Every structure is written in structure tokens, then in C-alpha cells.
Amino acid sequence: MNGIFITFEGPEGAGKTTIIQLLQEKFAQRKGEIVFTREPGGIKIAEKIREVILNKEHTEMDARTEALLYAAARRQHLIEKVIPALDEGKIVICDRFVDSSLAYQGFARGIGIDNVYSINEFAINGVMPNVTLYFDLDPEKGLERISRSTIREVNRLDLEKLAFHQKVQEGYRLVNERFKDRVEIIQADQPIEKVMQDVLDILKKYMVV
Ligand SMILES: Nc1ncnc2c1ncn2[C@@H]1O[C@H](COP(=O)(O)OP(=O)(O)OP(=O)(O)O)[C@@H](O)[C@H]1O
Ligand SMILES: Cc1cn([C@H]2C[C@H](O)[C@@H](COP(=O)(O)O)O2)c(=O)[nH]c1=O
């Protein structure tokens, strides 16, 4: 794989999707070189799994089932979209990846970061990001942002209590420490233009911006 794999991580409402949209606009002329995608989703089967996981009616979903579904969506997305693009030398920018599973299912759901990493090792088979941009924002602020959004649909995980989202933040702290060689922290509580500039400053170490 000759390409560059870049992932965006962070809590709800941190601004990952907003910045990815701005990057898509900025790099609109470079469609053959840069692939934008997301997890869970990005391809047909994984988008269907996304619908199952995030459906607000599926309140009975077991935590391990949830972890396995994210890992299954990840596997199919890697095989169909991410790995072929990296093999062609492309840059892949993905909204969320395995660190989300470690923070949300591993830590916040209480399954254990190592347990969730194990099932994901089977799914990803050694494919890890070159760099991860972590959008750092307190969960209260992120939840407040999404509650004000008129376009973003509320999903099952958004509906978890604040205590869950605080655990997600704590989980990410542990994950970021474990993978500090590839994780770059973005201060997400800044105006969008400044967040975008900080993101570009990091991306320019990996690609022409
Ligand atoms: N820097 C910012 N300052 C203020 N509001 C912002 C900023 N970045 C994004 N927002 C707003 O916050 C809301 C959530 O942003 P966005 O969807 O990009 O977050 P996200 O990290 O992708 O969230 P999620 O992972 O929950 O989907 C949107 O309404 C967006 O306009
Ligand atoms: C990949 C992944 C995601 N999640 C959670 C995080 C969010 O609550 C949703 C995805 O929604 P978004 O608007 O696209 O951010 O799913 C998770 O818990 N585990 C994962 O592996």
C-alpha cells in the first residue's frame, strides 16, 4: 500500500464532518487523488450496517453486538474502498476509524479497550492510519452544537446520557496516549476557519495542501 491513510476522530459535534466538507470543497479538483469517506459507512453494505447500529429504535442492542457490527462494517469498507485506494497510491481521509471503537465500545460501553482492539485486529488485519487528527472538545459543547443543528439527524448514540459521552472523552484520552506516535490533537473549540487552518498545517506534512 503506497497511499496515505488519514483518520479524523473525536466526540459528537466536534466538527469533523464540517472540516471534511471544507476539505472536499478545497480539493474538488483532485478527486482522482484524494478519497473522502466515513465510518460506519462509505460503501453500500457498511451504510446498511450503519442504519442498523444507529437506528434509535434499536435500544435493546447488546454492547458486544454493537462492537462486532462496527468491526464488520470496518472490514467491508477497508476491503472494498480503503485498501484499493491506498494500493493505487491515493490519499484516504476517513471520518472515524478504529479509535472510535476503542473509545466508545471499549471504554464507554465497558467492554475493555484490549478486548475491542482484539476483534478489530481481526477486521483490519494490520491496516492502521498514518496519522489521526483528534478533534478535542468537551462533550457538553459538542452535544450543545448538535442540539442546535437543523440538518444533522439525531442517532441512537447521540441519545446516550452526558455521562456516557464523558466516558467516551476519557476513553479517547487513553487511546490517544497509547497511539501518541500517530495522533495529532486539534483544538476544536475555535472558529471553524482557525480549526481548518490547524488541520491544513498538519495535513501538509503528509500531502500537498
Ligand atoms: N468550530 C466550530 N464552531 C462552532 N460550531 C461548529 C464548529 N465546527 C462545527 N460546528 C457545528 O457543530 C455541529 C456539529 O458539527 P459536525 O457535524 O461537523 O461534527 P462531527 O464531529 O462530525 O459530529 P458527529 O461525529 O457527532 O457527527 C454542526 O452544526 C456544525 O455546524
Ligand atoms: C466508527 C464508530 C462510530 N461510533 C459512533 C460514534 C457516533 O456516535 C456514531 C457515528 O456517527 P457520526 O455522526 O458519523 O459520527 O457512531 C462508535 O461508537 N464506534 C465506532 O467504531
DSSP state of 101: I
Average pLDDT over residues 164-168: 98
Q: Could you check whether the bond before residue 40 is cis, i.e. omega within 30 degrees of 0? A: yes
- Among 105, 86, 135, which Cα is nearest to 40's? 105
pLDDT of residue 172: 98
Helices 44-54, 63-77: inter-axial angle, 10-degree rounding: 160
> Is 3.40.50.300 the CATH classification of the domain at 4-203?
yes
List the chain domain ranges: 4-203
ipTM, 2 decimals? 0.98
| 170 neighbors 110 (Cβ within 8 angstroms) | no
pLDDT of residue 1: 86
Helices 113-124, 162-178: inter-axial angle, 10-degree rounding: 60
pLDDT of residue 101: 98
pLDDT of residue 65: 98
Whether ligand 1 lies within 6 angstroms of the CB of 195 is answered as yes
Average pLDDT over residues 199-206: 98
pLDDT tens for 3-46 read 999 999 999 999 999 999 999 999 999 999 999 999 999 999 99
**Residues 32, 128: Cα–Cα separation, whole Å:** 22
Average pLDDT over residues 190-206: 98
Whether ligand 1 lies within 6 angstroms of the CB of 42 is answered as no
**Residues 102, 111: Cα–Cα separation, whole Å:** 9
- Helices marked H in 78-189 — which ranges? 83-87, 98-100, 113-124, 139-148, 162-178
Q: Is 132 annotated for ligand binding?
A: no
Grid cell locating 37: 469517506
Ligand 1 atom closest to the Cα of residue 10 is: 21
Q: Is 13 annotated for ligand binding?
A: yes
Say which range, 143-152, 168-177, 186-195, has the weakest mean pLDDT. 143-152
| 12 neighbors 157 (Cβ within 8 angstroms) | yes
pTM of the model: 0.98
Q: Chain-centre distance of CA 183, in angstroms?
A: 13
pLDDT tens for 100-158 read 999 999 999 999 999 999 999 999 999 999 999 999 999 999 999 999 988 888 899 99
The residue contributing the CA closest to ligand 1 atom 29 is 149
**Residues 53, 59: Cα–Cα separation, whole Å:** 10
pLDDT tens for 37-90 read 999 999 999 999 999 999 999 999 999 999 999 999 999 999 999 999 999 999
pLDDT of residue 153: 86
